[in-house]
Chains A and B, each alone.
Chain A
Amino acid sequence: MTRLTSIVTALALAFSVSVPLSAHDDYRVIGIVTKVQATKLDVKARDGKNYSIKLNKETFINRDKKKVGASELKAGQSVVVDATGDSQDDLLALEVRMVPAIAPSAAK
C-alpha cells in the first residue's frame, strides 16, 4: 500500500511539473527579415530586438493570405510572424505574413 501511494504521488508530481512545461506561449514578431535559411528566419523587430525563428513544413508563409514558397522570403522584407515557444529564444513560426513596408515610427 505504501509503495502504491508512493507511485501515485510520484506520478502526480511528474504530471504537475510536465503540464506547465508543455504549455507554449504565443508570440507575435513584427519587423524586417535580416537573414533567411531553410529552417530558420532572422527578424529584427520594430522594438530593436533580434529574433531567430524556426521554420518547418507546417509554417504557413503567405502574402495577402495566399500561400507562397519560403524562397519568396528575402532580407529586407517586412513580416508579421506568429510563433509559439517557451521563450523568445526558442520560437517556431506558425505563420509568416509578408506585408508592405511598415512605418518606422511605432506610436503606442
Chain B
Amino acid sequence: MNPDLSTPQPPSKRKLAATTAIALAVAAVLLVTIVLPAEYGVDPLHTGAALGLTTLSAPAAAKAVGVPAGATLYKPVQDGPIGYYGGAYKVDSTVLKLGPYEYLEYKYRLEKGASMMFSWTATAAVTHDFHGDPGSGKGAEQSYDKKDRQASTGTLVAPFAGMHGWFWENPSSETITITLNSSGFYSSAMESRSDRTRRAHELTSLKRSPETGKNESK
C-alpha cells in the first residue's frame, strides 16, 4: 500500500483564500440581490422589484385582499372581531388652554361603529362630559361619562354617526391646560369655545403607501 495515494493533499493557502473570497462574494451578491429585498424590503439594485421579491417583505396587512364591500372611508364593516375601513387611520395631539370659567368642546366626526382611542390629562380637575351629538338638534346629545375629572384614558365605539368628544369647563379662577392624544377612524375635529369661536383642527393621516407598503403620514 502506498500511503501517499490514500491521503488527500490539503489545498494550498492561496487556493483556500481564493475559494473563501469567491464564496463571500457570491454570498454578498445573494444577500443584496435576493435576501435583503425579500426579507427586509431593502432593494438597492432593484433586483428585488425585477424578480417580484419585494412583495414578500410587505406587511401582512398590505397583502389583504381589500376592504369588504360596504365599507366606506370611515364607516367600518365588521367581520367577527375585526372592523375594516376604507379610509386612513388618523392621529391627533393637541394642547388646549382653558381660561378661568371658560369651557370648550372638542369633538371628532365618527360614523356609527367607528372606533377611536384617547387619553387626556388636565393640570387641574375640570367639569367634564364625554358625549355624542348626532346633529339632530338640542336634546339629542347622549352623555357617555359626566363627572369632574383630571384625566381619562379609553376607547370609544361610536353608537351613532355624529360628533363625539368632550365638554370641558374650567371651574376655577386659574388657567387650566388640557393635553389630548387620540387615534382612530375619524374624519374631522372641531373645537368650539365659550367665547363662540370655532376652529377645525388638522388631523394627521396615516396612509399606507401602495408602492412601499409602509405607512406615510401627512
Interface residues of B in 39-65 (CB under 8 A from A): none
B141 to chain A, nearest CB (A): 14
A97–B103 alpha-carbon span in the complex (Å): 15
Q: Chain B contacts of A103 at CB under 8 A?
A: 100, 173-175
Q: A27-B196, A28-B195, A47-B195 are in contact. Are A101 and B97 (CB under 8 A)?
A: no
Chain B residue numbers with a CB within 8 Å of A47 are: 195
A107 and B99 in contact, given A100-B173, A101-B173, A102-B173 (Cβ under 8 angstroms): yes
Interface residues of A in 12-51 (CB under 8 A from B): 25, 27-28, 30, 46-47
User: By DSSP majority rule, is chain A's interface helix, strand, loop, or mixed?
Assistant: loop
The verdict on A68 contacting chain B, using a C-beta distance below 8 Å, is: no
User: Residues of B contacting A1 with CB < 8 Å?
Assistant: none
Q: Residue-by-residue, is B6-34 near A (CB-CB < 8 Å gives 1, otherwise 0)? A: 00000000000000000000000000000
Chain A contact patch, size range: 10 to 19
Q: Give the number of A-B contacts (CB < 8 Å).
A: 38
Cα separation A100 to B100 with both chains bound (whole Å): 10
A80 to B100, CA, bound (A): 10
Within 8 A of B (CB), among A85-108: 97, 99-103, 106-108
Contact A102 B97 (CB under 8 A): no
Q: In the complex, how many angstroms separate the beta carbon of A70 from the nearest chain B beta carbon?
A: 20
B131 → A minimal CB distance (Å) = 16
CA–CA, A97 and B99, complex, Å: 16
Nearest neighbor of B102 in chain A, beta-carbon distance: A30
- A34 CB, min distance to chain B CBs, angstroms: 18
Q: Which of A25, A28, A108 contacts B103 (CB 8 A)?
A: A28
* Interface of A toward B, CB cutoff 8 Å: 25, 27-28, 30, 46-47, 78, 80, 97, 99-103, 106-108
Given contacts A28-B103, A80-B101, A106-B100, 12 further A-B contacts (CB under 8 A): A28-B101, A28-B195, A30-B100, A30-B194, A78-B173, A101-B173, A102-B101, A102-B173, A103-B174, A106-B175, A107-B99, A107-B175
